[in-house]
């Protein structure tokens, strides 16, 4: 049987790196994309290779038209098939409503929403052949508006709708789901966004990125009757 293969965008740092490491530990070969995190992507790929997995790091600028299709072509050209696509790459920048401009709007939607659509569509034939799955990395900001990151919140809200739309179109061969993290604490070497006060989180702690990665793995491996869902992983913050 051919080896399982996962394509992970933004796999060189933060949550993407944690997801890639978890998938490699679960037996997946990796095709990782990166833009600025070249060192982290190559380190992640090298660690996977040291553990006996095949891994490749590929520079991709998902802001550019046609880049998602180029990623799909490179991944399918390198590996015999694809079992899992994790759409993780995203732009997270401060855009309170008074600071929103056309450039930030277009670029953020292109990376956070359009590239998951176009990459998923380009890899659909390969995923369908292996009855694979897609996991989109959303955000609690798609449900609770981050007022200082308005455009980001809008893209993640739209990503939840895109997840449902793709799940309908790609069924029954390909399942599509999304995870919606909130309050993930990264190591000092991987600084993340400002974290909410702990008193807003019922579980009283922040998430380890490996917990989010474990949910991605669950959706890929053990959730065969789940599709079109966006699952919060936020310590209960979304329940109010």
Catalytic site positions: 152
DSSP state string for 132-181 = -EEEEE--GGGTS--TTBHHHHHHHHHHHHHHHHHHHHHTTT-EEEEEEE
Rounded Cα–Cα distance for residues 131 and 238 (Å): 32
- Give the C-alpha separation, 161 to 155, whole Å: 10
Angle CA(143)–CA(18)–CA(130) in degrees, nearest 5?
Answer: 85
Task: Dig out the tokens for 29 from the structure.
Answer: 């070969």
Give CA–CA dist 211/127, Å, rounded. 25
Please name which of 158, 125, 121 lies closest in space to residue 139, comparing C-alpha atoms: 158
Query: What are the b/e assignments for 24-45, b being 16+ CB within 10 Å?
Result: beeebbbbbbbbebeebbbebb
Contact 167, 175 (CB under 8 A): yes
Cβ atoms of residues 92 and 193 within 8 Å = yes
Helix-helix angle 115-129:150-170, to 10 degrees: 30
Per the CB < 8 A criterion, the answer to whether 16 and 93 are in contact is no
């Amino acid at each position: 049987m051919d080896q399982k293969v996962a394509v992970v965008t933004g796999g060189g740092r933060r949550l993407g790196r944690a997801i890639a490491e978890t998938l490699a530990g679960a037996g997946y070969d990796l095709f990782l994309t990166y833009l600025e995190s070249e060192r982290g992507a190559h380190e992640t790929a090298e660690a996977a290779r040291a553990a006996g997995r095949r891994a490749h790091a590929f520079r991709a600028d998902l802001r550019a038209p046609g880049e998602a299709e180029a990623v799909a072509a490179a991944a399918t050209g390198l590996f015999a098939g694809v079992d899992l696509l994790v759409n993780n790459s995203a732009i997270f920048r401060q855009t309170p409503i008074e600071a929103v401009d056309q450039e930030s709007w277009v670029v953020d939607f292109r990376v956070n929403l359009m590239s998951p659509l176009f990459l998923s569509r380009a890899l659909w034939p390969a995923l369908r052949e292996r009855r694979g799955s897609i996991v989109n990395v959303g955000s609690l900001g798609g449900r609770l508006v981050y007022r200082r990151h308005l455009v980001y919140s809008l893209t993640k809200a739209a990503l939840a709708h895109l997840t449902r739309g793709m799940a309908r179109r790609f069924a029954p061969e390909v399942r599509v789901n999304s995870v919606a993290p909130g309050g993930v604490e990264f190591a000092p070497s991987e600084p993340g966004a400002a974290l909410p006060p702990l008193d807003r989180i019922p579980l009283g702690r922040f998430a380890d990125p490996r917990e989010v990665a474990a949910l991605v793995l669950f959706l890929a491996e053990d959730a065969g009757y789940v599709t079109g869902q966006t699952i919060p992983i936020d310590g209960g913050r979304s329940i109010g």
